[in-house]
Chains A and B, each alone.
Chain A
Amino acid sequence: MLLSKLREALICVQAGRVTLPYPYAPHDPPPGFRGKLALDADRCIGCGGCAAVCPSGVILIRDDKPMVRTLHFALARCTYCGRCSDVCPEGALSHTLQFETATNTIDDLVMTIDVFMGPCQRCGRCFPPPTAMDQLPIRGFRMDSECCRVGADMPAPDAAATWAAAHSAPPGGVRTLTP
């Protein structure tokens, strides 16, 4: 009984101090950690791909002023999924290692950028440069559709017809589950 307690004490002494000194000393996350979003304002073209894929609807795009498109990031509900940085055709969005985002006002978790856009000469609306729009399907604009991923096997044009022919009911018979 006493011996087992002593053995336990010995194990505790051998383990030494395990507690992190964290709030007083920095404790960086491992590389590849997805922390607070960082935006390279020089690179953003205002295409809105990030807003299209964001599952939390963090990014709001407004065309209030002529020639300026405003991207509004409400980072309080950002889930750090990394889709926006994956989809960004210019690499303007990236995740930093910063996780110390706790704050007492929700206004601190707001990021805005005014992007200078080329407006249409006829309707006056902003549009991203066509070359960048052309890049979007190549770089995986919708990451959740298999066929749009880079390197994925693109279905042949007649794949749907082949599938339909293979799975259609035999002529004149009743379709059953077992062939």
Chain B
Amino acid sequence: MFKELCRKAFTRSLWVYHANAGACNGCDIEVIDVLTPYYDAERFGIRLVGSPRHADVILLSGPVTRQAAPALKRLLDAVPDPKLVVAVGSCAAGGGSWFDTYATTGGANETIHVDYFIPGCPPRPEAILYALAVAMGLVPKKAAPEHWQQETLEELAAGITHLKRA
């Protein structure tokens, strides 16, 4: 039901609050790029707002540091439901290079529920735009888990191949 509500409520216009939870500012610069006339996120109704109380979407950058984690939780409480959390950059998506350090919690996923992940260090502005387009249902999702398996000697002898050869 929440999903259905999200689909109906979010297809119109996303108001975005940009939160930095310990990012190096690289992802933040790319978020600003998305709002320039060249990439122009505003044509989808995406707007940057100055308060989490006005927002539908939290664009979160940074590996959530231990200092920022309680503040981030309070920020999420201030956002009215239904809300989306988009983790921008490798740090927010999975901790980045700081996934196991003492000062970070290792990605936003450890602290809060994240709806969309955008890996990249920083992600291209197109990648951020793509994630928002996926969230709005404009384009299909392309990422999928991949698995390969090499043949053992017995399988090779039996003529079995697992690998897709081009």
Seen from chain A, the residues whose Cβ lies within 8 Å of a Cβ on chain B are: 18-20, 22-24, 27, 29, 39, 41-42, 44, 55-57, 67-68, 74-81, 98-104, 106-116
Contacts and interface: CB of A to CB of B under 8 A. Distances in A.
Given A18-B38, A44-B150, A104-B134, A80 B141 contact: no
B120 A99 contact: yes
Interface string B112-150: 000111111101101111110111001101111111111
B94 to A, nearest CB: 3
27 contacts: A20-B40, A23-B133, A23-B139, A56-B90, A77-B94, A78-B90, A78-B119, A78-B121, A79-B97, A98-B142, A99-B120, A99-B130, A100-B130, A102-B123, A102-B128, A102-B131, A102-B143, A106-B93, A106-B109, A107-B145, A108-B144, A108-B145, A109-B93, A112-B147, A113-B147, A113-B148, A116-B152
B116 to A, nearest CB: 5
Given A57-B100, A103-B117, A116-B150, A76 B90 contact: yes
A39 B149 CA distance: 12
Contacts of A81: 121
A103 B39 CA distance: 20
A102 B107 CA distance: 15
Contacts of B119: 75-78, 101-102, 109
B153 interface: yes
B62 interface: no
Contact of B96 (A39, A79, A114, A116): A79
B163 A101 contact: no
Interface residues of B, number: 51
Nearest to B141: A103
B165 to A, nearest CB: 7
A99 B124 contact: yes
Contacts of A104: 115-117, 134-135, 141
Contacts of B153: 116
| Nearest 8 CB-CB pairings of A with B | A77-B94, A76-B94, A102-B131, A79-B121, A41-B148, A23-B133, A103-B143, A108-B143
B90 A19 contact: no
Nearest to B116: A104
A27 B147 CA distance: 28
A102 B165 CA distance: 27
Nearest to A67: B152
B100 to A, nearest CB: 7
Contacts of B96: 56, 77, 79
A102 B90 contact: no
Contacts of B10: none
